[in-house]
Structure 1
Amino acid sequence: MTGVPLPYDQRTPGARRARDLIRQVLGTAPVRVWPTESPDAKFAELPDGRRVVVKWPEWRNDVESIRAEAWAHRRCREAGLRVPELVAAADDPTCLITEVLPGETLADRDPREPATRAGWAEAGAELRRLHEIRLPGFGPLRARAGTARGAAAAWCPYLDEARDRGVAWLVDRGFLDRSAGDRLVRCLTRAAPALAELTDGRLLHSDLSGGHVLVGPDGFGGIIDLGQAQVGDPRWDFARVLLWDGDPALDALLDGYGREVLPDEERHTVLPLYLFAYCCHHAVGHPNDEYIALLLERSRWRALL
């Protein structure tokens, strides 16, 4: 995501939706609107010069995730974390408006380059502070009346989903052969009881990537996009980094987080489980076969066989 305005037709349905929501919630019309990477969120510039992101229920976001993200922003800001300020959150119409933090993301930057590695390390220190927030329940964050908890009774809902439905879906549609699918289900079945013993649920970003880490001329700028926040095992966030940014980025993140939290054995056993569960969750039902195949390839599922 970038806060730099881009040429954009202000008459598109998405632009009109963003303008209408800002007008209804903030009582002012934006000067201009331009796209984010998601169809259910837009950048906007307000008359006072502030730049914001407005997000609404559609595509990946539903009413529950919008409410949960608003709660997560408030809680993280209370904890002194560098996340965007919550400008407004509304239930009617349901939307979320957050400030745009200055800086550029680490997306597509080599994490072995010194300045980029330093950005990842500072993100690791910030992530550790986020993980200090304890919450009841497990899985996707749900917020009600100023409190929040995970939607499930035990960890890890996405792994259970992959075992019970996701692998079969991938097999039925030809993305996995049946033999590999059977072996994956057995692997997930063996792993589930130990993971379900987790009792100390922590707030997770759950979608951490270089595209959600900001750096600027003065260094680390913050972590953005809490729209997939969960309650669970901090190692889930480590696994998510591997998806698009790879091992060098995780190494750099651990420079700041602390390497002692992830023994080599867990890196090679637990993280592949979480990475596959994440990819399976986002693959099932996706309309783009090429994207599904890419997710599956990046999931490192063969490491589980």
Structure 2
Amino acid sequence: MDMTGFTGMVDGWEERVRGMLGGSAVPGLAEGRMRVLGAGMDSVALLVEGGGGEFVVRLPKGRDGAEGVAREARVLPELGERVSLPIPRFAFLAGNPLGPGECCVYAAVPGESLGADEWRERGMLADDAVAGAVGRFIDEVQGFPVGRAMELGVPVRDMRGEFAEDLESVRAQVVPLLSERVGRALVERWEGYLAEAGNFGYTPTVMHGDVSLDHLLVTGNRVSGVIDFGDLQIGDPDFDLCYLFMGAGAEFVGRVQDRRGRAFDERLRRKLVFWACADSAIDALHGIEHGMVEFTEWSVRRIGVALQEFGGQAGVL
């Protein structure tokens, strides 16, 4: 979730970041042109043009983001040897001038981040070669040895336990903000996901955890790199299709699955629909817990939209 529109930068952020870069081993980096690339729940990304190239600075906003950067620093060097697309290769870590832990700096991964409309305009969502590249990347990440990932600190996700716990919080804090019809439809989807034993019969794998169109960088009409590994985790491999389903649609996910030699069956579709609907509810929880009124209101509206768009719940809005 890109939260750039809901995230304010702390006063004096640019001076602090330049001070940090001034202590690095990359000459001229501190004097480069700097702009905000985007922001998520856990970190802010800046693009710095200087030091003989373009560099990305990712700055954690809290403890979770700091843990993610530290985990990436351990995992990405080994993962980078296994994947066929360029991914971030950290030039260095440094004390985070805007928050806890360390921030990371790396040479910009080639390509640009595009929205779904631009992917569609370039014909990429209908391109089997693009679907094949995305599917191959997912398989390469999921082929990383689980035991080694655990040694490197990649967390194991209990999908059933986490979503059961989230449901209790959603009932208490989010459902009261919804219309009766939307709240009922959301809870029914949630309970249906938890009740279907087959949803939890998967073999855990390493997952990128956030394979979305904006994290698949594009050059021309091909995927040229992948970014944002802060959500690396071990869990249900189907979850790596969740944000593609939300952003690119069922047809593209089906194309990816076909290129992987895997089915896009009704069970997978139901899982993806649930995750798409639950995503906005969990965002709303985050907004409530952190006092982000505007973001909470936006997320609450998105729940009804998601139920209608992905779940076929006619008339929920």
TM-score normalised by structure 1 residue count: 0.77
Deviates further, 32-41 or 87-96: 87-96
- Alignment of 1:128 onto 2:139: yes
The residue matched to 1:78 in structure 2 has which SS? Answer: coil
Q: Residues of 2 paired with 1:246 and 1:298: CA distance?
A: 12
In the other structure, the counterpart of 1:179 is: 184
CA deviation after TM superposition for structure 1 residue 15, in Å: 2.4
The residue matched to 2:146 in structure 1 has which SS? Answer: coil
Checking the alignment, whether the CA contact within 8 Å between 2:71 and 2:152 is kept in structure 1 is no
In the other structure, the counterpart of 1:99 is: 107
CA deviation after TM superposition for structure 1 residue 278, in Å: 3.3
CA deviation after TM superposition for structure 1 residue 18, in Å: 2.8
Q: Residues of 2 paired with 1:71 and 1:304: CA distance?
A: 43
Q: Residues of 2 paired with 1:238 and 1:246: CA distance?
A: 10
CA deviation after TM superposition for structure 1 residue 170, in Å: 1.7
Summarize the alignment of residues 1-305 of structure 1 with structure 2, pairs less than 5 Å apart.
Answer: 13-26=12-25, 28=27, 29-38=30-39, 40-47=44-51, 49-58=52-61, 62-82=65-85, 83-90=87-94, 94-107=102-115, 108-111=117-120, 113-115=122-124, 117=127, 118-135=129-146, 147-152=152-157, 154-156=158-160, 158-174=162-178, 177=181, 178-191=183-196, 193-198=197-202, 200-217=203-220, 219-256=222-259, 258=260, 260-286=261-287, 287=292, 288=295, 289-294=297-302, 296-298=304-306, 302=311
TM-score normalised by structure 2 residue count: 0.75
CA deviation after TM superposition for structure 1 residue 37, in Å: 1.7
Checking the alignment, whether the CA contact within 8 Å between 1:205 and 1:226 is kept in structure 2 is yes
Q: Residues of 2 paired with 1:110 and 1:301: CA distance?
A: 20
Q: Quick check: which one's helix share is greater? A: 2
CA 1:182 to 1:273, structure 2 compared with 1: closer, same or farther past 3 Å? closer
CA 1:244 to 1:23, structure 2 compared with 1: closer, same or farther past 3 Å? same
CA deviation after TM superposition for structure 1 residue 42, in Å: 0.8
Checking the alignment, whether the CA contact within 8 Å between 1:31 and 1:45 is kept in structure 2 is yes
CA 1:13 to 1:203, structure 2 compared with 1: closer, same or farther past 3 Å? farther
Q: Residues of 1 paired with 2:313 and 2:162: CA distance?
A: 16
One-letter amino acid of the structure 2 residue matched with residue 251 of structure 1: G
Checking the alignment, whether the CA contact within 8 Å between 1:123 and 1:253 is kept in structure 2 is yes
Q: Residues of 1 paired with 2:180 and 2:143: CA distance?
A: 38
In the other structure, the counterpart of 2:3 is: none
Q: Residues of 2 paired with 1:298 and 1:176: CA distance?
A: 16
Deviation by residue 1:264-303 (Cα, 9 ceiling, x = unmatched): 2223222223333433332313222124422552365745
Q: Residues of 2 paired with 1:292 and 1:158: CA distance?
A: 20
Q: Residues of 2 paired with 1:96 and 1:264: CA distance?
A: 40
One-letter amino acid of the structure 2 residue matched with residue 220 of structure 1: V
Deviation by residue 1:31-53 (Cα, 9 ceiling, x = unmatched): 12111121722111232x22111
Q: Residues of 1 paired with 2:236 and 2:313: CA distance?
A: 19
The residue matched to 1:148 in structure 2 has which SS? Answer: coil
CA deviation after TM superposition for structure 1 residue 159, in Å: 2.3
CA 1:296 to 1:181, structure 2 compared with 1: closer, same or farther past 3 Å? closer
CA 1:196 to 1:247, structure 2 compared with 1: closer, same or farther past 3 Å? closer
Aligned length in residues: 283
Q: How big is the alpha-carbon RMSD for the aligned residues of Structure 1 and Structure 2?
A: 3.3
The residue matched to 1:172 in structure 2 has which SS? Answer: helix
CA 1:224 to 1:168, structure 2 compared with 1: closer, same or farther past 3 Å? same
CA 1:103 to 1:41, structure 2 compared with 1: closer, same or farther past 3 Å? closer
Taking every aligned residue pair, what percent have the same amino acid on both sides?
18
CA deviation after TM superposition for structure 1 residue 167, in Å: 4.1
Q: Residues of 2 paired with 1:295 and 1:201: CA distance?
A: 28
One-letter amino acid of the structure 1 residue matched with residue 266 of structure 2: E
Q: Residues of 1 paired with 2:179 and 2:70: CA distance?
A: 34
